[in-house]
Amino acid sequence: MIKQLPDLADGQVTVAGWVETIRDQKKVQFVILRDESGSVQLVRPRPEGDDEISSTISELTLGSFVRVSGELKHDERVKLGGIEVKIETFEVVGKALPENPIAEDSSIDKRLDWRFLDLRRPELNLVFRVQTTFEHALRTWWVEHDFVEIHTPKLMASPSESRAELFQVPYFETTAYLAQSPQHFKQMAQASGFGKIFEIGPAFRADPSFTARHATEFTSVDAEISWVDSHEDVMRMHEELLVAGFTAVKEKHGDEIKALFDIDIEVPSTPFPRIPLAEAKQIVADRGYVVPRADDDMDPEGERQISAYVKETYGSDFVFLTDYATSIRPFYHRRHDDDAGLTNSYDLIYNGTEISTGAQREHRVEVLEAQARDKGLDTEELATYLDFFRYGVPSHGGFGMGLGRVLMLMLHLPSIRETTYLFRGPNRLLP
């Protein structure tokens, strides 16, 4: 790997990668070669009358994949890493077409059309290395705290929340639905005695939104725990988990992120601020913005405003907005004991955008049935789910979090299209 070259002594090496730059001069030829770990300068004095290697280099197209053997030399005069490789053998493994269909200033839609080329950019390569480190850190924290990893089905016989955002799929003689979340199966694990579980997997929403933070298929990060007294227990688990993830990213990639994105990764301090939604909306109003939504939720501008307030007041990039109205929460959220109009739930806002919803769940079956009917749901369709609660289940709660959004906000990128390997939206099913 190119990143290993600086630690090697001068001598024979073999490297392979994509041709990034060619300087084809009369007396010497230079090629900048890049693999997934970095870039290195290749050099070859040009012989009189040219030969096969010099002709091959002259005819190279940018983006071609080549394999080169030669002599590694440390030379502080070389601007690119203080090393170069003097070419002795040169093999074109895969020649690129002469015209690249995208450029750095191409639109995001154009770049997504040619995603495999777009992802060759070092900064996008880093995005998915950061994702790997972040996910590994979450899993490590969960496993060290005795969580069980589960893999839930994505084909469902009934909706997990509402029919409004469901994809229907023909399924033999009946109809199936793509899972909006693993919610029902996370709760089944509590009835099964698993205690603490997690899953990182795909989720699907038939939401015709074209915003920077929505997708029809996304990666959902989910956890559920038994024996909670309230949503406070879920929030505490959630924030500790995120601290572990951000710490790992900072330790492993902090310097690279600074170099490529000019961002200093900050590990959040706990506890994150907690603000009831009604209070948050009043804070935002006092700042000069009145949330216009009639559904008792916070809108995107409200999220940005409350985040600005929290950053100014508490120095935190994270804030839990708590105590959402029953009218805008799913039927399975537990309601306040002293106010049935509010739920034991929260949204987690990070850098001005919601990344997660969490709650204490309702575990009393007769209450669940009544709340489902209140939402206009057919309890017969929910029969299998409701059965989980007929044979003894502990109090429990959990959250679902969008992985792409977290990465987008962590790296200050404009859209989850940049942090999703292959984005799916209302008008995109390719590549």
Annotated binding site: 161, 205, 354, 357, 361, 402-405
Assess whether the previous peptide bond of 330 is cis (omega < 30° from 0). Answer: no
Residue 427 CB burial class (10 angstroms; 0-12, 13-18, ≥19): exposed
The residues near 49 (Cβ < 8 Å, ≥ 6 apart) are none
Name 304's Cβ contacts closer than 8 Å, sequence gap at least 6: 352, 353
Burial class (CB in 10 A: 0-12, 13-18, 19+), 211: exposed
Q: Which residues are annotated as a binding site for ATP?
A: 354, 402-405
Axis-axis angle for helices 403-410, 122-144 (nearest 10): 120
Burial class (CB in 10 A: 0-12, 13-18, 19+), 260: middle
Q: Which amino acid is at 74?
A: H
Contacts 24+ apart (CB under 8 A), 202-205: 202/154, 203/154, 203/179, 203/400, 204/154, 204/167, 204/178, 204/179, 204/180, 205/165, 205/180
Strand 38-45 and strand 83-94: the pairing is parallel
Q: Which residue has the tokens 């939401």?
A: 207
* Residue 299 and residue 307 in contact, taking contact as beta carbons nearer than 8 Å: no
DSSP letter (8 states) at residue 273: P
Binding-site residue positions for L-aspartate: 161, 205, 357, 361
The SS3 of residue 89 is: strand
In sequence order, the β-bridge partners of residue 32 are: 21, 41
Identify which of 159, 157, 160, 141 has the alpha carbon closest to the alpha carbon of residue 149.
Answer: 141
Q: Rounded to an integer, what distance in angstroms lies between the CA atom of residue 195 and that of residue 410?
A: 31
Find how far residue 194's CA is from the centre of its chain.
Answer: 26
Crossing angle of the two packed helices 277-286 and 300-314, in degrees rounded to 10: 90
Residues in the chain: 431
Rg of the chain over Cα atoms, rounded to whole angstroms, equals 27
